[in-house]
A and B are shown apart, each in its own frame.
Chain A
Amino acid sequence: MIICKFCVFCVQILAFKSRLNIQKPKMDIQTLYKMKSKFVARKVGNELIIVPLTDNVAQMSELFTLNETAKFLWENISEHASNEDIEKLLTDEFEVDAETTRRDVAAFLSNMDILLKK
C-alpha cells in the first residue's frame, strides 16, 4: 500500500487484462459466482469495470477492467453454471475453438484467484 504524506485514505489500483497465459486455475466458476455479490460492476463501452467491496484501506481500489471476453464471462456466471457451461457459451458467442475458450476461462479464473487473494 502506498501512503501519501497528508492523507488517510490511500488507495492503489490494479487495472487488469484478463487474457493471460495462466493454465491451471485454482478457482472454479461456482466459487467466483459466490464472490460476485462482493463486487460492483459498471459497463463502459464494450468493457466492464468491477470494484470489490472492502473493509479496509489496504485492499481498496483494486479496480479491474475486463475486456469484452471477460465481460461476457462475468455476466454469464450463474448459480448452477460449470466451467464447461461457460466455455460452451463463449465458444458459441465468439465463434472460437474449444481449446481457445478453455484457455481463456482458465486464464480468467487464475487471474481472479490471484487478484482476490491480494
Chain B
Amino acid sequence: MENQQKTFSLSIADFAIQLHSESLIELEDGYLPFLKNIVNKPDIDIECIAGWPDFSFDESQKVFEAKNEVQKFYAIYSINSGLGFVVYNQQTNEIQQIALLNEHFTHWKVYSVTLDDIIMPLKYPMGPIIMHYMTLTSDAVMMHASCAFDGEKGRMFSGFSGAGKSTMSMIWSQAGSQIVNDDRLIIRKTDNGFNVHNTPMYYKDMPKVAPLSAVYLISHSPENKIKKLAGAMAVTRVMAFCIQNNFDKQFIQKRLRIFTEISMQVPVYDLGFVPNQSVVQFIKAHEA
C-alpha cells in the first residue's frame, strides 16, 4: 500500500523530511501528495519506533502544556539533549506518541502505539508539532491563515476563528484564484522575499506555493474598509496568528525578528469585509 512503508521521504515547504522505521509506518492521506524523493541529506530526520521507550520524563521539567478545559493535546519537557514530548490521542486522551527532539531540532525519535504492527508517527497532533519545530530550524513560521494566489500576488488572510478565513478563500476561489490553504500555512523566507506554502492536512491536497504579497487581518463588517498597519502594531497583529510555543526566549526572539522582517517587506492591512465578491475589487483597488 502506498501509505504503508518502512521509509518515507516528504517535502513540506521545501523542507526535506525523512521517516524511517523497522516497523511499517502508515501515513495519513494528507501527507501522500507531499511524498518526494530526497537526494541530499534530509533537513529533518524522524526515527519511528514501535512501542514505548524504557525511560520516562518523571524527573524532567515540564516546560509547556497544551490543553484546554476538556482535553490535553501535548506536554513538552526539558531534557539534557533537547526536548521531550508526550502527545495525547484527541479522542481517548490516552498517550499516542512519546517523542524526543535533539537540541538542533533536526532529529526526532517518535515512539508510537502499535496497531496490527503498524505505527502512525505523524498522527495528529504529532505531525503539526513536528512541522512547527521544523520552522524553527530556518527563517520560517507557521500561521493560522488562508492564502489566495491569483498567479501574480499571494494574499494571506488571517484572523481569529470565525473571522472569515474560509469565506474569504471561497470568494477568491470564485474569482479565479488558487487557494494555497484556508487554515494552516508556512511562510518561508526566500532570496527575494517570502513564500507561502501549504502543509499536509487531514484531506489530500497538492503541495502549493505562492509569493507573499500582502497580509490582511480580517473581520466581518457591514461595509468593506481597510487600514494599513505599520511599525510594532503590524508586527504584533500578524505574530498573533503564528503557531508558537513561547516557553523559550530564543523562540520568541526568532519570531519577533522574522515578523519584523515580514512587516517591513510586505504590506499589512486591517480589513473589515462584506462576504461577497465586492471585497475582491475593493482589495485590488486599495493595493495600488
Contacts and interface: CB of A to CB of B under 8 A. Distances in A.
Interface residues of B, number: 43
Contacts of B247: 53-55
Given A8-B74, A55-B65, A47 B231 contact: yes
A96 interface: no
Interface string A44-55: 111111011111
A64 B263 CA distance: 16
Interface stretch (B13-21, B93-101, B107-115, B233-241): B233-241
B232 A47 contact: yes
A65 B237 CA distance: 10
A15 B237 contact: yes
Given A8-B66, A49-B235, 11 more contacts: A7-B243, A8-B125, A9-B245, A10-B161, A11-B243, A52-B246, A53-B246, A57-B66, A57-B67, A57-B73, A58-B68
A24 interface: no
A117 interface: no
Interface of A is mostly: loop
Interface of A: 1-13, 15, 40, 42, 44-49, 51-58, 60-61, 63-66
Interface string B59-73: 000111111100001
B74 A40 contact: no
Contact of A6 (B160, B183, B233, B256): B183
